[in-house]
Structure 1
Amino acid sequence: MLLGNHADARPFTTLDGSTIRELAGPVSLATANQSLAEATVPAGGATTEHFHRTSEELYYVTRGRGRIRIDGEERPLRVGDCVVIPPGARHKLLNDGDEELAILCCCAPPYSDADTVLIEG
């Protein structure tokens, strides 16, 4: 059995600029086909627009509010929203709120910097 806890997950910054606490995946609990992490973006912040060559992502908002842009289409985000981001879709997360935006992010296959292509420089 593999069991982890959020409090034990060390934060790190991904290529897109978000702060990640991986709960399951290559960095933490060894998963074979997916990863689960909490990503946070500070108030007024945003990630760098990017896409993943092979990973499909699910974003589930747990705290704060903001906007998601996928392939040029932008929508508001609030607690309880879930977004599906297909492989190859250009996306950017923006925090237009006054508190930290937190999402649970599930990637299949697991997140890797090698699978991430930055659009903005």
Structure 2
Amino acid sequence: MDIVNLNDAPPFTTKDGSEIRELLAHRNSCIEKQSLAEARLPPGTSTTAHYHPKTEEIYYITHGQGRMQIGDELKDVVVGDSIAIPPGQVHQITNTGSETLRLLCCCAPAYEHDDTILVEPEEG
């Protein structure tokens, strides 16, 4: 039986700049086709805009508030919101609150740095 407590999951920084604690994935459990992690963003910060060619994601907000952008759509998000991110969609989340934004990230297939493509900001 594989059980990983959030407090025992070592943090690392993903390619998009968020601090992640990987809870379950092929790297630490019998799970092979998806991953579950907690991401944290300090107040006033954003992930780098990016997309995943293969991976679909679900974000679930557990602490704080933010602004989610998928493609050209922008929406404010709060605790309890679930966000569907299809493969290939450029996305970014910004912490708009005064506390650390914390969210669960479910990825299928599992998160990999190689499946994260950063998007350069548009000059204008």
Q: What's the TM-score, normalizing by structure 1? A: 0.96
Question: Does the alignment pair 1:107 with 2:119?
Answer: no
For 1:84-99, list aligned pairs within 5 A. Answer: 84-99=84-99
Structure 1 residue ranges (4+ consecutive) displaced by more than 6 angstroms after TM superposition: none
Instruction: Note the alpha carbon deviations across 1:17-53, whole angstroms, 9 max, x for none.
Output: 0000000013432421000000011000000000001
- What RMSD, in angstroms, separates the aligned Cα atoms of the two structures? 1.0
Q: Distance in 2 between matches of 1:37 and 1:28?
A: 12
Question: Aligned residue for 2:38?
Answer: 38
Unaligned runs of at least 5 residues, structure 2: none
Q: Distance in 2 between matches of 1:100 and 1:10?
A: 18
Identity score, percent: 50
**Deviation, structure 1 residue 113:** 0.4
Q: What's the TM-score, normalizing by structure 2? A: 0.94
Question: Aligned residue for 1:15?
Answer: 15
Question: Aligned residue for 1:63?
Answer: 63
Question: Aligned residue for 1:72?
Answer: 72
> Secondary structure of the equivalent of 1:114?
helix
8 Å contact from structure 1 (residues 64, 79) kept in 2: yes
Unaligned runs of at least 5 residues, structure 1: none
